[in-house]
Chain A
Amino acid sequence: DGGITQSPKYLFRKEGQNVTLSCEQNLNHDAMYWYRQDPGQGLRLIYYSQIVNDFQKGDIAEGYSVSREKKESFPLTVTSAQKNPTAFYLCASSIGRGVASGELFFGEGSRLTVL
């Protein structure tokens, strides 16, 4: 079945370590997004990509990096520069070229805890 796969589901990290969260989709969608969810807050956009080899910063990009080498894959690296990385991370994709033109499809999320 088509969908978005995020891994790992749970991840623990020591302070000072970089970690990479995987996001793979087989929906043939052009647009992909990374969101962060914290308790009591709405989702916030970290990065998005509308086409291979191109991506744009969202509202809270500091301390994160992404790549889009293949249409299907949009990994997120949480670097040691991210001051408060403990959060729930959601990857999404959209049919067409973005959120104004179509439905959003989400992965199951990755919960990162910094020890």
Chain B
Amino acid sequence: KNEVEQSPQNLTAQEGEFITINCSYSVGISALHWLQQHPGGGIVSLFMLSSGKKKHGRLIATINIQEKHSSLHITASHPRDSAVYICAVYLGNEKLTFGTGTRLTIIP
């Protein structure tokens, strides 16, 4: 069983819809990262969380440490949001365990 599970694996939505991507993990962590991977392969860091909630523009990330769960929300989705979204959890010793990603496609 993977230590990090993301759902859904693939998500297609219409422009303007509210998007939620989920990340569940099986062990205690001290930090969680949300990343965005573009079609060309480059990765951009969106958030690093250890508790609560963070917001940046149309993106919101939340984490519930007790339930071992994090969500990434996108409001007013746009075709340029189409990418793979990756959750990664910090287990110690500089090691992140990465989920396999959620492929998001926003249709105009």
Q: Note whether A and B form a binding pair.
A: yes
Chain A residues at the B interface, C-beta cutoff of 8 Å = 31, 33, 37, 40-45, 48, 50, 56, 58-59, 88, 90, 92, 98-100, 102-109, 111
Query: Quick check: B45 and A99 within 8 Å, CB to CB?
Result: no
**Range class of the B interface residue count:** 20 to 34
Pick from B90, B94, B98: contact of A43, CB under 8 Å: B98
Q: Which A residues lie within 8 Å of B4 (CB)?
A: 42
Known: A42-B4, A104-B33. A98 touches B94 (CB 8 A): yes
Q: Assess whether B83 is interfacial by the CB under 8 Å rule.
A: no
Pick from B2, B41, B43, B90: contact of A99, CB under 8 Å: B90
Query: Quick check: A42 and B100 within 8 Å, CB to CB?
Result: yes
Chain B residues at the A interface, C-beta cutoff of 8 Å = 2, 4, 30-31, 33, 35, 40-45, 48, 86, 88, 90, 92, 94-101
Report, nearest first, the 3 A-B pairs whose CB atoms are least far apart: A42-B98, A106-B43, A109-B41
- How far, in angstroms, from A50 to B30 measured CA to CA in the complex? 19
Q: Which B residues lie within 8 Å of A58 (CB)?
A: 95
- The total of interchain contacts (Cβ-Cβ below 8 angstroms) comes to 66
Query: Quick check: A100 and B31 within 8 Å, CB to CB?
Result: yes
Q: Which A residues lie within 8 Å of B99 (CB)?
A: 42
- How far, in angstroms, from A99 to B41 measured CA to CA in the complex? 20
Q: Which B residues lie within 8 Å of A108 (CB)?
A: 40-42
- How far, in angstroms, from A31 to B96 measured CA to CA in the complex? 14
Q: Which A residues lie within 8 Å of B98 (CB)?
A: 42-44
- How far, in angstroms, from A40 to B88 measured CA to CA in the complex? 15
Given A100-B94, A106-B42, 6 additional A-B pairs, CB 8 A: A31-B94, A42-B4, A44-B98, A45-B96, A99-B96, A100-B90
Query: Quick check: A106 and B45 within 8 Å, CB to CB?
Result: yes
Q: Which B residues lie within 8 Å of A44 (CB)?
A: 98
- How far, in angstroms, from A33 to B2 measured CA to CA in the complex? 22
Query: Quick check: A48 and B41 within 8 Å, CB to CB?
Result: no
Q: Which B residues lie within 8 Å of A90 (CB)?
A: 41, 43
